Amino acid sequence: MKKKNLALGVDVGGTNLKCAIINEAGKVLLLRKAQTEVEKGRSQILSNIKSLVHACLKEKRLSAGDLAGIGLGTPGYVVDGVILGSPNMPGWHGTPIVETMSREFAAPFFASNDVTLAALAEYRYGQDAAVRNMVMYAIGTGIGGGIIVDGRVYEGSFGMAGEMGHVIVAAGGRLCGCGVRGCVEAYASATAIKNMARELLEKPEGPKSLIHRAVKGEPDKVTSKIVYDAAKAGDAAALEINEVVCRHLAVAVSGSISIFNPELIVLGGGVMQAGDIIMNRVREYLPKFTLADPLSRCRLDYAKLGEDAGVIGAAALAFQMTSRIP
Ligand SMILES: [Zn+2]
């Protein structure tokens, strides 16, 4: 029997499906996209996933049996093979994804949270140094994340671990999209940055800000990129927002350092495109919140894989689950 050194990954997004075939070194041999068509409901989404996987296999002249396995990343949680809690994809909740796909494809099938799998990809293929323990924050519209413990993705008892965005960094603080006050997502996500900028523009001194000029007086047009362009130009209001972002992010990161004693913490997602203005400030704040010894042994770095991390991580899950080597 020949060694199965290929795996297929599927990343289910609110707009697009992605499918990739990778080898064990993480090299992407094929990457294709299709529309998810969330609005058409569960059976259409499932049928779109099946078609895309079949098309990718056909293009590479493979059958499912040639693969080590198939992995799938999805918003929400996967508990006992069933998708739970994907608020932006009504109808997807309750889908028995593992059973459905195992019936369709003659390969071991695994599924997990999409951001957790992005962290796995980052761990296996994004970072150069071999580390055993890593925590990732994906900072975009919301904040997600993933935890790698002893070389394997840590999913918790019910597949719900790694909710890095909903760790409280200010008791009773700003209201988060989850309904709780004080989550780091309410301080450091793109949504939070936008909200804080809007509030700032409404203050009497707000119109002096470059942010105000960039949105031409329409606060609803503000984005985190506009805020960070202004911050880099030295705008006082934008820099004030960056302080709030970085201080709260550092509180969250310090918690992960204390709990996991990781060698590496990775920051990724759209907001991190702002770069060193965030990274360096978080690094400056960390000693105020973190024990010196674990902090001195932990590196804080950027995520390297970009937007394909999710689909690569889905395939990496198949390798992880079918291999004794982490
Ligand atoms: Zn929250």
Q: Cα(87) to centroid of ligand 1, in Å?
A: 14
How do residues 72-109 score in pLDDT, each as one tens digit?
A: 999 999 999 999 987 778 889 999 999 999 999 999 99
**Structural domains in the chain, sorted by start:** 6-123+308-322 (3.30.420.40), 130-303 (3.30.420.40)
Q: Cα(184) to centroid of ligand 1, in Å?
A: 7
pLDDT at 2: 57
How do residues 139-184 score in pLDDT, each as one tens digit?
A: 999 999 999 999 988 989 988 999 999 999 999 999 999 999 999 9
List, in sequence order, the alpha helices (H) in the chain.
42-59, 97-104, 114-121, 185-188, 190-202, 210-214, 224-232, 236-260, 276-289, 292-296, 309-322
| Mean pLDDT for all residues in the chain | 94
Q: Is it the case that residue 120 has pLDDT exceeding 70?
A: yes
Q: Cα(143) to centroid of ligand 1, in Å?
A: 9
Q: Cα(178) to centroid of ligand 1, in Å?
A: 4
Split at pLDDT 50, 70, 90, the class of 264 is: very high
* Alpha-carbon gap, residue 274 to 223, rounded angstroms: 12
pLDDT at 3: 62
pLDDT at 324: 53
- List residues bridging with 139 in a β-sheet: 143
Q: Cα(150) to centroid of ligand 1, in Å?
A: 27
- List residues bridging with 15 in a β-sheet: none
Q: Cα(314) to centroid of ligand 1, in Å?
A: 25
Q: Is it the case that residue 237 has pLDDT exceeding 90?
A: yes
pLDDT > 90 in the chain, percent: 86
How do residues 280-322 score in pLDDT, each as one tens digit?
A: 999 999 999 999 999 999 999 999 998 899 999 999 999 999 9
Pairing mode, if any, of strands 82-84 and 77-79? antiparallel
* Alpha-carbon gap, residue 293 to 298, rounded angstroms: 9
- Yes or no: say if 75 and 113 are a contact pair by the CB < 8 Å rule: yes
Q: Is it the case that residue 1 has pLDDT exceeding 70?
A: no
